[in-house]
Amino acid sequence: MAILEIKKAGDPVLKQVAVPVERLTKWHRQLLDDMAETMYAANGVGLAAPQVGRSLRIVVIDVEDANGLIELVNPIITMRDGSEVGSEGCLSVPQVYGDVERAARVTVEYTDRRSRRRTLTAEGLLARCIQHECDHLDGRLFIDIAVSLRKEEAKE
């Protein structure tokens, strides 16, 4: 396992539309491991592969609920329901937070690390996080769509 460098806003990789994974290999499973380690080390709740400089449709999420670590390869949001404004931040945009309108509930289809296609329906923070991370795969940052932004100094 390795901690990867997190790319910051302004890096062109964050603006690219990421490429689907055609055949999941040991290399991708290593990337999933490294992304999870990187996310936990940075105290994040989600990380998308473009944020570590790999323009691939891969996401890891852990919002500290019963789901634990979720690994999404080639995720597609197939259902969005309701609407909710909530606060977001991003490891690629340090110390900036903003209110973003998202669907309150989503269903996402994805491939897991064993190449099985799966479906997950989520609400609340997990739904928000899925939408935030899937946006990264299309080159979109939360600061592009936030209804308000604020800067906070690093806390002690």
Task: Give the interface with Ni ion as residue ranges (CB under 5 A).
Answer: 90
* Residue number, 8 or 117, with CB nearest to Ni ion: 8
CB of 30 to Ni ion, least distance (A): 22
* Residue number, 31 or 90, with CB nearest to Ni ion: 90
Catalytic residue flag (residue 71): no
CB of 92 to Ni ion, least distance (A): 6
* Residue number, 41 or 119, with CB nearest to Ni ion: 41
CB of 28 to Ni ion, least distance (A): 20
* Residue number, 74 or 88, with CB nearest to Ni ion: 88
Burial pattern 94-113, b for ≥16 Cβ within 10 A else e, equals: eebbbebebbebbbbebbee
Q: How far, in Å, CA of 78 to CA of 22, rounded? A: 20
The residue from 22, 71, 84, 133 that is catalytic is 133
CB of 44 to Ni ion, least distance (A): 8
Catalytic sites, residue numbers: 133
